[in-house]
């Protein structure tokens, strides 16, 4: 009789624990959504990016709000600056565009991330440049105060950019954890 009670209690504990794990995963997928997947899939592939990085940038930049505008005037899901928009229009022959259109915004954001990857080759530097500008990252890399080897940053002097790199990296790890099994 005592063995049956112990078995029953253990079974209940295992069921509760399993349901909590399943519930936690479900909650996390709500907190880390993959909205606009049709565009993220197309343009991350076109520009050689990991989809989860693109989702992480969108989540940190705009929280998936297509009409977001930053205090510096960056716009849309991936917070494209006017300078980057004009550069992308010229390089990709886009003509008139609506920067708030998710398809256009994600395309330009992925194009820009690809440019930064070609320039820097390291995820942390790409993320820092996306927020703080490639000119600043290049300055920091050439300054021994911020980079001992000229290839990686020991310190990011802009607090906003430093926090941005941490946030995107944290989100990227979570997206990889939640969605790496899916294909």
85 to each of 70, 82, 95, 153, 167, how far by Cα in Å? 15, 5, 11, 27, 24
List the catalytic residue out of 61, 86, 90, 91.
Answer: 61
- The answer to whether the beta carbons of residues 161 and 131 sit under 8 Å apart is yes
- State both tokens at 106: 């994600």
* Residue burial 1-10, b: 16+ Cβ < 10 Å; e: rest: eeeeeeeeee
Active-site annotation holds for 61? yes
Q: What stretch of H or E contains 162?
A: helix 159-179
Please identify every residue annotated as catalytic: 61
């Amino acid at each position: 009789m005592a063995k049956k009670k112990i078995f029953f209690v253990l079974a209940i504990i295992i069921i509760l624990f399993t349901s909590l794990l399943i519930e936690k995963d479900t909650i996390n997928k709500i907190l880390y959504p993959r909205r606009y997947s049709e565009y993220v899939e197309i343009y991350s592939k076109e520009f050689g990016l990991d989809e989860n990085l693109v989702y992480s940038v969108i989540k940190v930049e705009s929280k998936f709000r297509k009409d977001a505008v930053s205090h510096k005037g960056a716009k849309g899901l991936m917070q494209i600056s006017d300078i980057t928009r004009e550069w992308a229009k010229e390089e990709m022959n886009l003509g008139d565009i609506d920067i708030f259109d998710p398809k256009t915004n994600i395309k330009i954001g992925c194009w820009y991330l690809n440019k930064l990857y070609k320039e820097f080759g390291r995820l942390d530097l790409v993320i820092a440049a996306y927020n703080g500008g490639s000119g600043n990252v290049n300055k920091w890399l050439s300054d021994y105060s911020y980079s001992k080897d000229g290839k990686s940053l020991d310190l990011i002097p802009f607090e906003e950019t430093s926090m941005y790199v941490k946030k995107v990296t944290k989100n990227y790890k979570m997206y990889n954890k939640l969605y790496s099994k899916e294909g």
